[in-house]
């Protein structure tokens, strides 16, 4: 007899930031800043009336640090492992389903 209430495995087993909306917003914000800062550097090099040179390198390094930390701490943690996939496949092969009372969806 199969388990009537199997624990449903998470598709993101090691989530550091639980809210998917926060993860998406952070990813978009960091991606946009990663695109804007080099553009500002190009504009700064070609423009003579103003200069971003005082704060642009510092902003770029902070942005790169945040992108790296977010990538390692959040995005990479949300990629399911091969072990997780094997566990799900084994559970499905036993007919236990994925949390829907023992049947397959």
Rg (CA), the chain: 22
Domain contains 9: no
Say if CB 78 and CB 3 are below 8 A apart.
Answer: no
Who wins on pLDDT, 56 or 83?
Answer: 56
Whether the pTM exceeds 0.75: the reply is no
d(CA 30, CA 62): 11
Number of structural domains found in the chain = 1
Local confidence band at 46 (pLDDT 50, 70, 90 cut-offs) = confident
CB 63 within 8 A of CB 37: yes
**In terms of residue numbers, what domain contains 68?**
20-81
Per-residue model confidence (pLDDT) at position 98 = 57
Q: Is residue 35 part of a domain?
A: yes
Helices assigned H by DSSP within 11-93: 20-46, 56-70, 82-93
Predicted confidence band of residue 33 (pLDDT cuts 50, 70, 90): very high
Residue 105 belongs to a domain: no
Distance CA 36, CA 84 (A): 37
Structural domain contains residue 72: yes
Tens digits of per-residue pLDDT, 74-89?
Answer: 877 766 666 666 777 7
Residue 5 lies in a domain: no
- Quick check: is 92 in a domain? no
Angle 97-23-71 (CA atoms, 0-180°, nearest 5)?
100
Least confident of 7-11, 76-80, 99-103: 99-103
The answer to the question of residue 96 being in a domain is no
Does 1 fall in a domain? no
């Amino acid at each position: 007899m199969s388990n009537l209430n199997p624990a449903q495995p998470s598709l993101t087993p090691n989530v550091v930031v639980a809210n998917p909306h926060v993860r998406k917003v952070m990813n978009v914000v960091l991606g946009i800043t990663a695109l804007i800062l080099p553009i500002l550097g190009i504009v700064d090099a070609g423009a003579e009336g103003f200069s971003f040179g005082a704060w642009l390198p510092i902003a770029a390094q902070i942005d790169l640090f945040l992108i790296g930390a977010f990538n390692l701490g959040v995005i990479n943690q949300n990629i399911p492992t091969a072990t997780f996939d094997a566990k799900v496949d084994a559970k499905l092969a036993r007919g236990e389903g994925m949390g829907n009372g023992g049947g397959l969806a």
